[in-house]
Amino acid sequence: MIMRINLKYTAIAGAIIAVVAFGLAAITGKDSAKKGEMGPEAVVEAFNRAVTAGDWSAAEGLCNTVSMKDYLESHQEAWETLQKEDSTALQIAASLLSGAVLKFGKVEKDEDGRAVHYTLEADGHRKERKAIVKKNGEGEWKIENITDAI
């Protein structure tokens, strides 16, 4: 019985890590993001913290494309569905994710943006991602796309 419960929570934590890593604590520096003072890595970090905390509005504010907003909506639906099905499991998984570690790798520059490579690790799970971050018309760094790192 205990083993089955632990496996259930581990599976749920893995699913939520995938959500966080795919797109998937409160954000500090939220006002700085509005002023364009956050660099590309800080925007990626703030985005991941917002998604981990289920702060969909803050996460959306760090994105610059309709496809990223649609992407977030699909993850929000999955998060809310999981909470309805088993809120206790979701709370345990969210607790595990609060200890997630975000490690930055290389940052590739091009004429109008950056490709920020990073790894998200939590509870023995690891996901490598690449975020395309570009400045909008107001000089703020915004996420345009997140994919598996290649």
Q: What is the pLDDT of residues 17-58, one digit of tens each?
A: 444 444 333 333 334 444 448 999 999 999 988 988 889 999
pTM of the full predicted structure? 0.70
Largest CA distance in the chain: 56
* Alpha-carbon span 132 to 113, nearest angstrom: 7
Phi, psi of 85 (to 5 degrees): -75, -40
Q: What pLDDT, on the 0 to 100 scale, is given for residue 78?
A: 83
Q: Chain-wide mean pLDDT for the chain?
A: 77
Determine the angle formed by the axes of helices 2-22 and 66-85, rounding to 10 degrees.
170
Confidence at 76, pLDDT banded by 50, 70, 90: confident
Tokens of 32: 């700085």
Domains of the chain: 2-148 (3.10.450.630)
Q: What is the pLDDT of residues 137-149, one digit of tens each?
A: 899 999 999 998 8
Average pLDDT over residues 80-104: 78
**Burial class, 83, CB count within 10 angstroms (exposed 0-12 / middle 13-18 / buried 19+):** middle
**121-124: which pairs have CB atoms within 8 A and are 24 or more residues apart?**
122/13, 122/17, 122/20, 122/96, 122/97, 123/10, 123/13, 123/14, 123/17, 123/96, 123/97, 123/99
Three-point CA angle 52, 53, 54, nearest 5° = 95
Confidence at 2, pLDDT banded by 50, 70, 90: very low
